Amino acid sequence: MKEYQKLEFDKKRFRIKHCPCGKSNKDGKFIPYKGLDNCGYCHSCGKTFLPELQKNDNMKFEAQPKQVSCISPDLVEKSLKASNNFLIFLNSLFGTDATESLKERYKIGSSKHWNGATVFGRLTISGK
């Protein structure tokens, strides 16, 4: 089973007489991929011509489930209690209530990474 096709430029660029854009390849500006006649890169028109994917190529596109690591809820709470440069900036523009609301809504936390560092938390579907 062929899982993927590696695209490599063919050194024999002059084997192709015309770029897929229609221009002559006398000047060798179109470089085809190995084993393909109408796919490659054209220095004249600046386009890359890629092969169409066939549905029955048995190509693998299934994403591997990623292992998700989550920060402990205690640490998230601590992070949300502190302030940071971004929250100070928001507060100067919108006041305390709006800033608090934004902080809760977007889980804008603080970190000791540097003085005033901001953390933009991301939630999993289950709220972790």
Residues that bind Zn ion (CB under 5 A): 19, 21, 23, 42, 44-45
Distance CA 90, CA 97 (A): 10
Nearer to Zn ion, 30 or 86 (CB): 30
Q: Where are the alpha helices (DSSP H) in the chain?
A: 73-81, 85-106
Residue 110 φ then ψ, to 5°: -125, 155
Nearer to Zn ion, 21 or 123 (CB): 21
Residue 88 φ then ψ, to 5°: -65, -40
DSSP state of 63: P
Nearer to Zn ion, 42 or 108 (CB): 42
| CA distances (Å), origin 86, targets 16, 59, 76, 99 | 57, 45, 17, 10
3-state helix, strand, coil split of the chain in percent (to 5) is 25, 15, 60
Q: Shortest approach of Zn ion to residue 19 CB, angstroms?
A: 3
Instruction: Report which residue type is found at 69.
Output: S
Q: Shortest approach of Zn ion to residue 28 CB, angstroms?
A: 12
Nearer to Zn ion, 42 or 90 (CB): 42
Q: Shortest approach of Zn ion to residue 46 CB, angstroms?
A: 8
Q: Shortest approach of Zn ion to residue 45 CB, angstroms?
A: 3
